[in-house]
A = this chain, B = another copy of it.
Amino acid sequence: MTLPTLTDMMSTDTVAAIATPPGTAGLAVLRLSGSRSIEIASAVFTGADLRAVHSHTVHYGKVRDSHGEVLDEVLVSVFRAPQSYTGEDSVEISCHGGTLLARSVLQALLDAGARHAEAGEFTRRAFMNGRMDLTQAEAVADLIHAQSQQARRASLRQLEGSLSEYIGAIREQLLHIASMLELSLDFVEEDVAFLSNEELHAVISDAMVRIRSALESYGSGRLLRDGIRVVLLGCPNVGKSSLLNALLGADRAIVTDVPGTTRDFIEEALLLRGVLFRMVDTAGLRDTGDTVELHGIARTHAMLREADVVCLLSEAAGGEDMLETACTLAELGKDDARLIPLFTKSDLVPAAERDRLRGIGLPVSVLESGGLDLLRERLFEVARSLHDTTEAGSVLVTNARHADCLRLSLAALQRADDALQGGATEEFVSVEVRDATTVLGEIIGEVTSDDVLNGIFSRFCIGK
């Protein structure tokens, strides 16, 4: 692992960026951060003397370009170190909306000596200046990208430090026994043991239990963050696109009565009571000429493997072939609990037939709301199982990087415990425990490398 090069990362220059989305709106906000923020803002601003004002105050005035031409009337907020988002002197400039204006003001700031900020640089500076740890910095990006209330809630809890606390506590405990083990090494000649093997084993086991618990939350956490993937599967013209549209309440997919209209696959976000579902309309099962052949379509298979829920569609009027298809799916190894058989166009069959179909699956019709409501309810039931894990107090891992680190720490602790049971020296056990603390430290950013940081902050948008 590359050692952290803090000095490389802690740029001493002052950065600027537009922090609001492009587009026409009432306001656009630009940010400056770094030791020269207030000086650079003063250079372009006519109004109050920003160098003399208090932190956390707002000032009306005009921004001028390097030729002295007024660009806009603005409000400028001044934040003095360390009481700012980044922990550095910072300035926010709120100008009239519109991309051209905001860009002009940004150019004026660059002309006055600011550097255009890299993606995530403001948050990276906040991390480097100790304003937040790495899980909190990652939560900022998750919060911004949150597509459901559940995802927002999970990110906010992480931003508030819940994961850091959980991991930090385990790490402290392990650092303590590592120190004890290393201390024993200094006194090895005297044969003094600071901790008994039983005590060591108890601490390591306890840490492993807690790490496993965190890891187990990752399955739900990932779904919360990225959404529950629902694949709609069925023969051409069975009504997948129509169903998708009915659920979405908008004409997103192109619906026609020509089989094979859906060329590739369409993924749409569906929010049900704050839970995000990703509805995937498959390419249909017809690529091999005009015959329906489940086994032949690699893409659909790949999608099934990634699916959290599969809705298997067949027409209510021709319901028998459903059973056959369901068998084929079972061969594909799908979990039945996550399979929802749907009988489409149920308005076309008599009530008695619909009752019969209800024994096997769910009759739905885009012309009637009853079946659609039941389908929404079924989808929501799948999500309900995730609810517990978002309760306050329990840990929730949503990030693949965190899960990877947890797995590595678990493996190191397992080796430590094995070594302990096998009568290995304190030195060997200590090395494994140290390894575990190092990877746990990577989660919260106490131990980290430029590569890891670059990977994390490149996910951010510019201006954050």
Contact indicator B24/A461 (Cβ below 8 Å)? yes
CB A150 to nearest CB in B, in angstroms, measures 11
Per the CB 8 Å criterion, the residue count for chain A at the interface is 52
A58-B79, A100-B149 known, 5 other contacts, Cβ within 8 Å: A19-B27, A23-B23, A57-B58, A96-B144, A98-B146
Also in contact, A152 and B104, with CB within 8 A (given A20-B26, A59-B56, A97-B21): yes
CA distance A462 to B26 in the complex (A): 7
**Chain B residues whose CB sits within 8 angstroms of the CB of A437 once the complex forms:** none
Contact indicator A29/B146 (Cβ below 8 Å)? no
Determine the residue in chain B with the shortest Cβ distance to A464.
B26
> A94 an interface residue at 8 Å Cβ cutoff?
yes
Also in contact, A19 and B25, with CB within 8 A (given A73-B159, A77-B77, A144-B101): yes
Contact indicator A25/B96 (Cβ below 8 Å)? no
CB A324 to nearest CB in B, in angstroms, measures 42
CB A96 to nearest CB in B, in angstroms, measures 5
Contact indicator A149/B104 (Cβ below 8 Å)? yes
Contact indicator A140/B25 (Cβ below 8 Å)? no
**Chain A 92-120, CB within 8 Å of chain B: the 1/0 string?**
10101110110010000000000000000
> A453 an interface residue at 8 Å Cβ cutoff?
no
8 Å CB interface, A18-36 against B: 18-29, 31
> A420 an interface residue at 8 Å Cβ cutoff?
no
CA distance A463 to B24 in the complex (A): 11
Contact indicator A27/B23 (Cβ below 8 Å)? no
CA distance A26 to B92 in the complex (A): 12
CB A399 to nearest CB in B, in angstroms, measures 17
Contact indicator B21/A22 (Cβ below 8 Å)? yes
Write the residues of chain A forming the contact surface with B, with a CB cutoff of 8 angstroms. 17-29, 31, 56-59, 69-73, 75, 77, 79, 92, 94, 96-98, 100-101, 104, 122, 140, 143-149, 152-153, 156, 159-160, 461-464
23 interchain pairs (CB within 8 A)?
A19-B25, A19-B26, A19-B27, A19-B97, A21-B22, A26-B31, A26-B144, A26-B462, A26-B463, A26-B464, A27-B464, A56-B59, A57-B58, A72-B156, A73-B156, A73-B159, A97-B464, A98-B144, A100-B146, A100-B147, A100-B148, A101-B144, A104-B149
Contact indicator B21/A101 (Cβ below 8 Å)? no
Contact indicator A145/B58 (Cβ below 8 Å)? no
Contact indicator A97/B56 (Cβ below 8 Å)? no
Across the A-B interface, the 8 shortest Cβ-Cβ residue pairs: A21-B23, A26-B464, A19-B26, A26-B463, A21-B25, A98-B144, A20-B20, A19-B27
CB A192 to nearest CB in B, in angstroms, measures 49
Also in contact, A26 and B122, with CB within 8 A (given A97-B21, A97-B464): yes
Partner of A98, one of B58, B73, B92, B143: B143
**Chain B residues whose CB sits within 8 angstroms of the CB of A77 once the complex forms:** 58, 75, 77
**Chain B residues whose CB sits within 8 angstroms of the CB of A17 once the complex forms:** 26
Determine the residue in chain B with the shortest Cβ distance to A159.
B73
**Chain B residues whose CB sits within 8 angstroms of the CB of A24 once the complex forms:** 21, 144-145, 461
**Chain B residues whose CB sits within 8 angstroms of the CB of A149 once the complex forms:** 100, 104
CB A373 to nearest CB in B, in angstroms, measures 24
CA distance A69 to B56 in the complex (A): 26
Contact indicator A20/B31 (Cβ below 8 Å)? no
Contact indicator B21/A96 (Cβ below 8 Å)? no
**Chain B residues whose CB sits within 8 angstroms of the CB of A159 once the complex forms:** 73
